């Protein structure tokens, strides 16, 4: 297994660049081995929904993608990250099915959050429902239908295929340990804790990022993976101060604020808000512009004034290519009003200069850059997949065939991006200081420096042109 390195990380599904993990390995070796140092392979376990995020069993690789040998071979060349959905498990998993079959006689009866045990009177009051940080306009539950004909409410934050785990129970603690150890033993160097902030719940609270329980959960996971040299990355979309809190506990975080801040800077030729964030953002972080989800809006609350957030969000529908408001509504099964469904390249109007400048800023920003596979190929919005599936996020989840990848890597914008990534991976200055230099509001000048080695980005946000000077 390769350890975590300060090199560009690709984010991809197992079947998005070719049809399976063997195709992915072939594509990486042929086109991207110098540009990419690590790979986040999105959920590759058997799953009953949400493109892999309703996992049924962490001990096996979905056979349509390959097997553990394919994962371990990739881990010899790239540092790998995999998802652990700490908040939930599939409704089709053997664990939940055993619970439905045997109810109180099931060894998994304490693995799930049963309303009758969680709430004082078996049901939340309206006041308690109102304060929950939730994804549905009602209390978060599904009705468990038991084999004996009885029913009972169990906690369900997301889709009905994703049943929440009672992380405080001894059963869940053993369940988490077993799954994390299994992942560590198959060559993973980073484990991403998906939906992490939802995993701590307390009656009468928001049931989201509850302290000190959140630190007990995080530290408990760290004790499990630490002996294997594995890094944890909690995934949270919320106010930037939560990321700062996590960094203060010496864990890696995501920079989910950068995407909207950069769009704002490039749309309006202004750098004030972007510069402020670059000064205060966590240093122990992974940067993103695009992921398998939409472009985050909630993440820039108080980093952009409310009117700037609204202006930027609205103008994505004006300046972006082939993106409409309806793609972000219930008509396209959209859950997240705080995200805009659009590829990053299309959010910037399919403009090569603006896109390459955005990537250059990302690569010079503090942290390790992650590049989503659609972004790696400067991909446009996939309206065909969107309309076929009526799933908003699928606008940015194109399936690339091998011959299509061969054509895409020949585009000048992709060639230039791969050169930028190779430079970011190889230049020693990126292991050193981050210095924001004085410049006008329409400019951005960043110096990266280590000893005598340096790299300086000079960017003009109005003209979308930039230069890089380096030792």
Catalytic residues: 194, 235
Coil/strand/helix, residue 308: helix
Tens-place pLDDT, residues 382-435: 999 999 999 999 999 999 999 999 999 999 999 999 999 999 999 999 999 999
Cα 193 to the chain's mean position, in Å? Answer: 10
Decide the pairing of beta strands 38-41 and 9-12.
Answer: parallel
pLDDT for 261 equals 98
Quick one: which of 262, 106, 235, 236 has its CA closest to 171?
A: 106
Which tens digits make up the pLDDT trace of 99-110? 999 999 999 999
The answer on pLDDT for 374 being more than 90 is: yes
Q: Which residue has the tokens 């430079």?
A: 423
Whether 324 has a pLDDT exceeding 80, the answer reads yes
Report the pLDDT value the prediction gives residue 337, as an integer from 0 to 100.
Answer: 60
Q: What is the pLDDT of residues 149-166, one digit of tens each?
A: 999 999 999 999 999 999
Three-state secondary structure call for residue 156: coil
pLDDT band at 57 (very low <50, low <70, confident <90, very high): very high
pTM: 0.97
Judged against a pLDDT cut of 90, whether residue 332 lies above it is answered with: no
pLDDT(30) > 80: yes
CA gap 55, 281 in Å, rounded: 33
Cα 389 from Cα 51, distance rounded (Å): 12
Cα distances from 442 to residues 15, 349, 438, in angstroms, run: 41, 19, 12
| 232 pLDDT more than 90 | yes
DSSP 381: P
- The size of the chain, in residues, is 471
- Cα–Cα distance for residue pair 360/367, rounded to 1 Å: 13
Contact assessment for residue 376 and residue 362, using Cβ atoms and an 8 Å cutoff? no
Q: Give the model's pLDDT for residue 372.
A: 98
Q: What is the mean pLDDT of the chain?
A: 96
pLDDT band at 441 (very low <50, low <70, confident <90, very high): very high
What's the pLDDT score for residue 328?
81
Beta-ladder partners of 467: 458
More confident site: 337 or 25: 25
Residue 392 three-state SS: helix
Element (DSSP H or E) covering residue 261 = helix 258-268
**Which residue has tokens 């989840």?**
397
């Amino acid at each position: 297994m390769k350890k975590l390195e300060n090199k560009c990380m690709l984010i991809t599904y197992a079947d998005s660049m070719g049809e399976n993990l063997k195709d992915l390995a072939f594509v990486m070796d042929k086109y991207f081995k110098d540009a990419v140092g690590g790979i986040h392979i999105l959920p590759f376990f058997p799953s009953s929904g949400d493109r892999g995020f309703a996992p049924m069993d962490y001990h096996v690789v979905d056979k349509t993608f390959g097997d553990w040998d394919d994962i371990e071979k990739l881990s010899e060349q790239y540092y790998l990250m995999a998802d652990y959905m700490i908040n939930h498990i599939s409704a089709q998993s053997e664990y939940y099915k055993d619970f439905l079959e045997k109810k109180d006689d099931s060894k998994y009866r304490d693995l799930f959050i049963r309303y009758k045990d969680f709430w004082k009177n078996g049901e939340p009051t309206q006041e308690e429902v109102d304060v929950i940080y939730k994804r549905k306009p009602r209390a978060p539950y599904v009705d468990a239908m038991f084999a004996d004909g009885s029913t009972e409410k169990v906690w369900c934050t997301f889709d009905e295929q994703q049943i929440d785990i009672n992380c405080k129970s001894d059963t869940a603690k053993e369940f988490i340990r077993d799954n994390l150890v299994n992942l560590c033993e198959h060559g993973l160097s980073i484990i991403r804790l998906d939906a992490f902030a939802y995993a701590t719940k307390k009656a009468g609270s928001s049931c989201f990022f509850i302290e000190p329980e959140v630190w007990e959960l995080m530290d408990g996971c760290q004790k499990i993976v630490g002996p294997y040299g594995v890094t944890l990355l909690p995934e949270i979309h919320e106010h930037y101060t939560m990321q700062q809190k996590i960094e203060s506990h010496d864990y890696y975080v995501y920079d989910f604020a950068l995407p909207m801040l950069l769009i704002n800077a490039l749309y309006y030729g202004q750098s004030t808000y972007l510069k402020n964030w670059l000064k205060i953002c966590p240093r122990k972080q992974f940067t993103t512009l695009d992921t398998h989800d939409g472009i985050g809006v909630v993440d820039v609350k108080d980093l952009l004034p409310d009117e700037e957030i609204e202006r930027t969000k609205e103008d994505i529908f004006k300046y972006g290519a082939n993106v409409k408001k309806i793609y972000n509504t219930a008509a396209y099964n959209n859950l997240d009003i705080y995200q805009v469904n659009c590829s990053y390249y299309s959010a910037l109007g399919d403009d090569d200069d603006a896109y390459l400048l955005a990537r250059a800023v990302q690569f010079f920003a503090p942290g390790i850059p992650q590049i989503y596979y659609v972004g790696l190929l400067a991909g446009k919005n996939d309206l065909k997949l969107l309309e076929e599936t009526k799933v908003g996020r699928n606008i940015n989840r194109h399936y690339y065939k091998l011959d299509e990848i061969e054509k895409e890597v020949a585009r000048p914008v992709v060639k230039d991006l791969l050169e930028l990534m190779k430079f970011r991976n190889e230049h020693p200055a990126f292991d050193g200081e981050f210095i924001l230099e004085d410049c006008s509001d329409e400019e951005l000048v960043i110096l990266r420096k280590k000893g005598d080695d340096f790299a300086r980005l000079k960017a003009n946000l109005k003209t979308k042109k930039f230069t890089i000077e380096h030792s």
